[in-house]
Amino acid sequence: MGITQRLLQLPISLQLVLVASAILLPYTLYHFFLHPLAGLPGPLSAKLGLPLFPFLHAYRRDYVWALAQQHARYGPIVRIAPNHVSFTSARAVEKIYAHGSAKYLKTDFYKSFQVYWGRPSLFSDVDPHSHADRRRAMASAYAMSYLVKLEECVEPCVDLLVEQFERMVGEAEKSKASIDMAKWMHFFAMDAVGELAFGRGFEFLEKGSDPNNFLLGVSNLSHWGSMAGFLTPLLSRPARVVLKWLSGEPGGEVVGVATRARIDARYKAEAAGLVDRQDMLTKIIRAKHPSTGRQYDANDSLRTAISVVGAGSDTTSVALSAFFGYLVRNGKVYEDLQREIDEAFERGDLSLPAKYSKGVQLELLQACIKETLRLHPPISMSLPRLVPHGGDVIDGRFFPANTNVSVSSFVLHRTKEAFGDDAAEWNPYRWIGLDEQTRREMERVNLSFGAGNRQCIGKNISLMEITKVLPTLLYRFRFDFVPRDRSQRRRVPRDSNGSEAEPATTPWRTNSTWFLDVEDLVLEVSQREV
Ligand code: HEM
């Protein structure tokens, strides 16, 4: 009997396995032995040609910790997917995210968001020319000179947050309220961004709740985006359905539903000449395409405003929550910071709510914010870029054109090479009293807001929000972490080093999707005598 006949006599399932192996074998052998990245260390799946490692850990919401483990095991250069290399050195940062250079472009990873919303936004646009046009058109909405106007829009949210805390403390037994700071910081950041980008907050602070599961929708979208990014070329309709199922309901479409009506109403008011409010939405609607001079249409404005919500809400809320999570565990810093804030109020430098221009002068406060963003960078995904035409040398090794390369801020910021022996610790004093040279070296490896042409355009807005709300809350209230036993926790907490933490001593749970989310940060809040 010939070999073909013998094979045909095998059970059909075995025949299918053999056919699949015959097709896949050359593919895996190529990736293992012949691919230009073959020989680089990394997870086996990458060597076999499968993007399983990043996808699986995005799905499990533990991407940053898994990546940190790979680097601890293999060193500063790791092949994490068939065509994706992760680095952890200052030299790689300088090459990949060089300032003033558009050589290394964003990869298809970002296109997953285009697939979701139909067209690119300022954040997800991978084309350097249309991105440059968008960035120029939107520059005035983010300009430093406009910040004072935006600060006025955010102020009612700070007042409302304080009122709600006063109410909760007033109603609590012994005037000590257990408040989930992660939830309330999320409400604050989302309402603030709503005021800026949609002309009105989303009423989370007013209601103290999220009846339409809007925040869950944003969080599920962030999970979706982190998984989908690694599969972009394969994002067929069935794959999208499966990803949607994996990331859960509701999806990001709740954002579109909640925001469309606001944009339409503002367009009508704008046409009738009834808009005198100076917020980002005014700028977004009036923005003109730099080349054609034409205004963007309502769909474009909606996408731009949604991208402000996507990029500017969870990031700020994560930063605020992480700040409290670290502060309550560091008594000495808390004491010093409280003194700095109280003295500023006594001198009359700060008033309620705190002004950005004054808060920015508080040295320790600013150091605490910087340190929080260092150790807990709110964007948890690495920011992949394409090696340009002709290939390039990174970290002493040549990489061919179109290799995906990235540096994870989370992993880089925790290396001793970047931040010294105590890199894994929250130590705000590291940012104080630096000579110019050391400060520049630390900034060189500080990727919290990204770097280069695609650096965060909303950095000043978010620092304004954070600098207003923190001294205001810390002046009015005392925050303590009261150890809780396991039965009081919704889930076993994970500390920011990724390990399952002792529930009694860890104030939060963290997750790594697009954002390094903070959850379940319940603190005991009481009013201070001021
Ligand atoms: C603590 C708060 C924030 C952090 C840590 C943060 C971080 C970042 C990072 C790392 C990037 C670069 C992403 C990449 O290279 O792929 C980025 C981009 C961006 N951010 Fe932020 N962000 C924050 C707040 C905000 C706010 C409040 C806004 C809007 C009001 C905003 C709007 C944007 C936009 C539009 C981009 C895309 C810019 C471009 O590609 O030209 N961000 N952000």
Residue whose entry in the numeric block shows the structure tokens 């003194």: 339
- Interatomic CA distance for residues 315 and 312, integer angstroms: 6
Here the tokens at position 369 are 């914010």
C-beta of residue 46 within 8 angstroms of C-beta of residue 80: yes
Give distance in angstroms: CA of 400 to centre of ligand 1: 29
Distances (CA, A) of 387 to 106, 246, 494: 10, 31, 35
Å from CA of 347 to ligand 1 middle: 35
Does residue 496 surpass a pLDDT of 70? no
**Percentage of the chain exceeding pLDDT 90:** 58
Domain extents for the chain? 20-481+505-527
pLDDT of residue 422: 95
Answer whether residue 493 shows pLDDT above 60: no
Is residue 112 within 8 Å of 439, Cβ to Cβ? Answer: no
DSSP state, residue 34: I
- Give pLDDT tens digits for 208-225: 998 888 888 888 888 988
pLDDT at position 17? 83
222, 454, 474, 136: which is closest to 327 by C-alpha? Answer: 474
Instruction: Return mean pLDDT, the chain.
Output: 89
What sign for the dihedral angle of Cα 93, 95, 101, 104?
negative
Give the span between the Cα atoms of 403 and 399, in whole angstroms.
7
pLDDT digits (tens, 9 = 90+) for 217-265: 888 888 988 898 888 767 677 777 788 888 887 777 777 777 788 888 8
Predicted ipTM?
A: 0.99
pLDDT of residue 115: 66
Q: Return the best residue to mutate from 97, 315, 410 for the ligand 1 pocket (most ligand atoms within 8 A of CB).
A: 315
Count other Cβ atoms within 10 Å, centred on residue 159. Answer: 14
pLDDT digits over 348-367, tens only? Answer: 999 999 999 999 999 999 99
Question: Inter-axis angle of helices 214-228 and 181-197, to 10 degrees?
Answer: 90
pLDDT at residue 186 tops 90: yes
Pocket flag, ligand 1, residue 135 (CB < 6 Å): yes
What are the tens digits of pLDDT across the range 276-323? 778 888 888 888 888 888 888 888 888 888 888 888 889 999 999 999
Topology of domain 20-481+505-527, per CATH? Cytochrome p450 (1.10.630)
> Residue 462 Cα, ligand 1 centroid: separation in angstroms?
9
Say yes or no: CB of residue 506 within 6 Å of ligand 1. no
pLDDT of res. 489 = 54
In tens, the pLDDT along 107-127 reads 999 988 776 667 788 888 999
Q: Predicted confidence band at 475 (pLDDT cuts at 50, 70, 90)?
A: very high
